[in-house]
Amino acid sequence: MASDFAVFFGEMMRRPTEVVAIAPSSAAVARRMTEGMDKVKGPIVEIGPGTGSFTKAILAQGVAPERLTLMEMNPRFCETLREKFPGVTVLNRPAQDIELIGLRDIGAVISGVPVLARPQIQRDVVGRAFRVMAPEGIFTQITYSTNAPISDEMQAELGVSAEKRATVWANLPPARVFVFRRMQH
């Protein structure tokens, strides 16, 4: 089987508009993105898993594969993910379909999908995800920006608040991890 980097690089060259990162996420980012997944109740959905660096970290915490659903648009990545992670549900669907996959009370969404400065994607991905998440569910997002990837105005519209979990310097480029939760009334 080709290395994750070889698969990633090949797809980046073939589909430059879909694969927007410059390298697969580092193990350090994966650890911070997936922190606490072993304590999450209910299904866990990963959107935009790419070659599976976050998937591997989630499973390494002892999360049962059957609790994990991956939503990936790239067919080659889907094939690789199915080979690497038996028992995990891999759907060749966009993140925008999260309401249509039959899961409710999702405990966590792990997102590698770029949402920065794209209000329509924020509504279609983050907004829809929160509609099928458990009340205490969390949405964890990677970004390469220094600020939260969703503006304060959009957070208010979606009824969520952001908390910066970490800056991971050992990644190319340095990554920030933000966790979004429903606002408490």
Task: Show the tokens assigned to 167.
Answer: 């800056």
Q: What is the pLDDT of residues 65-109, one digit of tens each?
A: 999 999 999 999 999 999 999 999 999 999 999 999 999 999 999
Q: Which residue has the tokens 């249509």?
A: 100
Is it the case that residue 30 has pLDDT exceeding 70? yes
Q: What is the pLDDT of residues 114-149, one digit of tens each?
A: 777 788 889 999 999 999 999 999 999 999 888 999
Full-model pTM? 0.86
* CB-based contact 177:140 (threshold 8 Å): yes
CATH topology of domain 25-182: Rossmann fold (3.40.50)
Number of alpha carbons in the 13 Å side-chain half-sphere of residue 153:
3
Give backbone dihedrals phi and psi of 12, rounded to 5 degrees, phi first.
Answer: -65, -40
Coil, strand or helix at 46:
strand
pLDDT of residue 130: 97
pLDDT of residue 171: 81
Give domain limits for the chain. Answer: 25-182
